[in-house]
Each structure stands twice: as C-alpha cells, then as structure tokens.
Structure 1
C-alpha cells in the first residue's frame, strides 16, 4: 500500500462512521418524538399553561363580577396585566416536577428500552461503537429537554395572548421593558430552563445503563427525582441542599431583573454541568464495560 493510500484509509473509514452517527442521531430523534408515550408527555406539558391561564382568567372574571381584589402570589397576578407572564409562571410550575419527570422517562428508557426490546445488540454491531451510541442517546435526551421546554413556553405564550393583553413588561426590579425585549427574555429563560435539566438527563442515562428493563429505569429515575425534591425541602439538610441538582432551578427568575442578576443562574448551570460530567462518565464507564446479552 502506498503512503497516500495509507493516509487516505483512516479518513475513508472515518467518513462512513460520521455519516452513520448522524443518521443514528436523526433516527433516534425521529423515533423518540414519534412515540405515543413522548407525545402524551408533551401533550400534558402543553396542557399545564392552558389550565393555569384558564384558572387565572376565571378567577379574574369572578373578582371583577364580585368587585373584590385578586389574591394569590404577585407573580401569578401579573398574568392578568400581561399574558407574557404566563410563560414565566408555566415554566416555574412545570420545572419542579413535570418537566424533569418527562426528561426522566425519556432518559431512563434510552438504553434500557433498547435492551428490553432486544435491539441493543444490533445497534452495537454498527460501526459507531458504544461511545458514539451513548453520546447519540444523550444528545437525543438533551434535544428532548429543549423541545419539552419550548412546548411549555409556546403553549403559555399562545394561551396568554388569547386570554390576556400583551404589552410592556414590568420586571422584578420594578422597571419597564418593551414587549420585544420581554419576549427575548422569555426565550432566554426557556433556554436556561432546558439547560437546567441536563443533570437529570445524565442521571437518567446512567440509571438506564444499570438495568435491562426500561420500566425499571424510568421508575428509578423518577423516584430519585422525587427523593431529591423532598431532601431539598428539609430544613435540617441545608448544608447539602446547595449541591442538589434541583436547588437552584428557579434561579431563572433573576433573568427578569434589570439589570439581570447572573450569579445564581451561572451557579445553577455550573452545577448541572458537574452532574452531567459525573453521571455521564459513570454511564460511559458502565456501558462500555457491561456484557450486552439483549
């Protein structure tokens, strides 16, 4: 073999692997987003802002008819003045449980679901290998994090526009910004919320490599999520709570300040990256060394 052929051979072998990986990622995204379970999760997420909006609208109508002032948290009360606040309220309502539960279901099923259905062995025969397959699975879960968050945000924006007026936004700091800037901040908040879920995604993927049952992996991931949420509410555990992945999830509210307060937001994102690195590495170590029998 000539030197030119020797140099070209690795590139020629790498090109099909890259194309196969891209094809696998596209296939994974298509299969994941077309599953009835995934569509049902997205439908539930889309329905939460509608329920909140309708409830606030009914309560507002009742207050107007009775001549009484509206009660409830001030953040929710802002919805009646500007429908854009429904986006922030819906994300705050779904982030503690609904969004991470949906991510946990998809992540927990990523590898264990293939094992339980008997297709994991055939995927590993392909040229991508275990590492690329695991990265593709994780990329699919991260894409679902973004899709799920945007479904909540878009549903809230449409519902808010239909039920309430839109206009300038009053920030938490008391200053007013234009509707366009408020819309950009809503998009930024949605992206931060999606990024806040990468730790849960890595945890679910790790659990998925530990078992051959998709249902067991999903149940374990959701159970761990609930456990962490409970631990985060116990005052006696205040020393460890800053290290729980859910502790600073609601820090996205600081993006509605003028000027924006970034400290807690960046601290939350760094914590999520740490969880992603730790559990992603654990998932890789487990998946690349385990015997695949299904």
Structure 2
C-alpha cells in the first residue's frame, strides 16, 4: 500500500491530499458525535451568561460576580469578559475532552468500522492519511475554541453592556483592541490543545476500538490534570501538557507577558513531535486487517 505513494505525480498527489483532507473534515463535522460536542461547548457560555445575569440582575456591581472562572466578576460590566470566562471554564475539561474524543476515534474508529484499509488504497498511503487525520483534529481544536468564543461574545453582547476593557494590569483599552485580544486568546487556547490532539492520535493507533481509544485518551487527560494539582509533584508539573493552559490570561495584561505563553507553545510542540512520531511509527508498522 505504501508503495503507491511513489507511483503518482506530484500534482495529482497534492490534489488527492487536499481532497482527502476535505473529505475527512466533512465526514468529521457531519457526525452526530461532533455536532453534539460542539453544541455542548456552545451551551457553556449561554449557561454562564444566564447564571451571571440571574445572580446580578444585569447590574454593574463586579463584587457580586462570586466565585468561579477567572474574569467572571467583570462580566456584568462588559460582556466581552464572557469570552474570557467561557474559555477559562471550558479549557480545563470540556475543550480537551472534546478534542480527546475526536482524536481518539480518528484511526481506531476507522479500524473498528472496517473502513481503514479502504482509506489506505492508492494513492493515499499511511503517512499521508495519518497527517490528514491529525490536520483534521487540529482543525477541530480551532473550530471548537471559536464556537465557545463566538457563542460567548453573542451572549455577552445580548445580556450585558459592551465597551472598553479593563486589563488585569488595571489599564483600559478600547473595545476593538479587546476584540483583538479575545481573538488572540482563542488562538492561544486552540494551540494549547495541540498536545492532547497528538496524544489522542497516538492512542488511536494502538487499538481497533474507537471507544477504547476515546476512553483511554480522556482517562490520560484526567490523570494529567490531577497530577498537575498535587503540590508534591511540582518538579514534573512544568512538563505536563496542561500546566500552562491558563497562561492565555497574560494576553490581558498591559504590556502582554509572553514568557508562559511561549513555554506553553514550546511544550505543545514537543508533545506534538513526540506523540506524532510515535503515532507514525506505530501506524506505518501496523498490520491493517480492517
């Protein structure tokens, strides 16, 4: 099967790769599981917005924001803060859970359904198919994050006033600048999920059961999250993929603090390289019977 990769000219191979990617994206987005995950993610900002509105009556008293995700005390003064709050609320669990489900099912789901060997028919090839699967999962990372952000922005604009943004540093920036920072934060959150995507893809190459791969990926995600909260394990915590997830808050400082954001991007890149290579090594040597 893999020899077929060398028997087609470059242009047709490129067109095939684009077509394969488009097919994977369409197939993934049409699945009911994907639509349900996106619907749940979109509902989180709605629930947060309604809860804050009910608690404060839409007033501008930030002291009544109560406990909860970061930035929630500022939501009543500026609906844009609902974007930051929703991302802070979904990043520790809901977003990586959704990505883990999609990544874990990427290869194992095809094997379990008996369609994997048909996808490997020329001129696809194992390496190209694996890269396409990973690109699809990364696209879902971005889409899922944007769904949360757009839903939060819409709800925030509907339930609360919009205006200048007060940064964590205490300075005020214009609404346009606040929107730009919200977009940068959404991109930073999506990039923070790259490591989970690679881990899930690797797990997906280890089994022919999509459910087992999804469960294992989610289990590993929860385990890492627990390890990151145990003080006695502080020595290893900077190497856990979730450790710098909330560093996106530094984008709301004036000036922006980039150190932890860089560390997060580098760490995600390392996880992507390590588990991506492991997934490739496993997948290219795997005996495909389904």
Is the shorter-chain TM-score for this pair beyond 0.5, marking a shared fold? yes
In structure 2, the residue matched to 1:140 is: 136
In structure 1, the residue matched to 2:40 is: 44
1:110 matched to 2:106? The reply is yes
Q: Which runs of 5+ in 2 are unaligned?
A: 1-5
Total equivalences in the alignment = 283
Greater Cα shift, 209-218 or 69-78: 69-78
In structure 2, the residue matched to 1:131 is: 127
Report the CA distance between 1:126 and its aligned residue.
2.4
In structure 1, the residue matched to 2:248 is: 252
In structure 1, the residue matched to 2:66 is: 72
State the TM-score, normalized to the length of structure 2. 0.95
From 161, 176, 179, give the equivalent of 1:183.
179
- Rg larger in structure: 1
Report the CA distance between 1:113 and its aligned residue.
0.4
Is the 8 Å Cα contact of residues 57 and 80 (structure 1) preserved in structure 2?
yes
| DSSP 3-state at the match of 2:71 | helix
In structure 2, the residue matched to 1:56 is: 52
CA deviation profile, 1:97-121 (whole Å, cap 9, x unmatched)? 0000000000000000000000001
CA deviation profile, 1:56-79 (whole Å, cap 9, x unmatched)? 000002989xx9951524721100
State the TM-score, normalized to the length of structure 1. 0.93
Is the 8 Å Cα contact of residues 86 and 156 (structure 1) preserved in structure 2?
yes
In structure 1, the residue matched to 2:88 is: 92
Structure 1 stretches of 4+ with a deviation exceeding 2 A read: none
1:215 matched to 2:211? The reply is yes
CA deviation profile, 1:144-188 (whole Å, cap 9, x unmatched)? 000000000000000000000000000000000000000000000
Identify if the C-alpha distance between structure 1 residues 71 and 13 changes in structure 2 by more than 3 Å, giving closer, same or farther.
closer
RMSD: 1.7
In structure 2, the residue matched to 1:236 is: 232
Q: Which runs of 5+ in 1 are unaligned?
A: 1-9
In structure 2, what is the Cα distance between the partners aligned to 1:71 and 1:54?
12
In structure 2, what is the Cα distance between the partners aligned to 1:53 and 1:12?
54
In structure 2, what is the Cα distance between the partners aligned to 1:164 and 1:187?
19
Is the 8 Å Cα contact of residues 193 and 252 (structure 1) preserved in structure 2?
yes
Is the 8 Å Cα contact of residues 101 and 222 (structure 1) preserved in structure 2?
yes
In structure 2, what is the Cα distance between the partners aligned to 1:14 and 1:185?
40
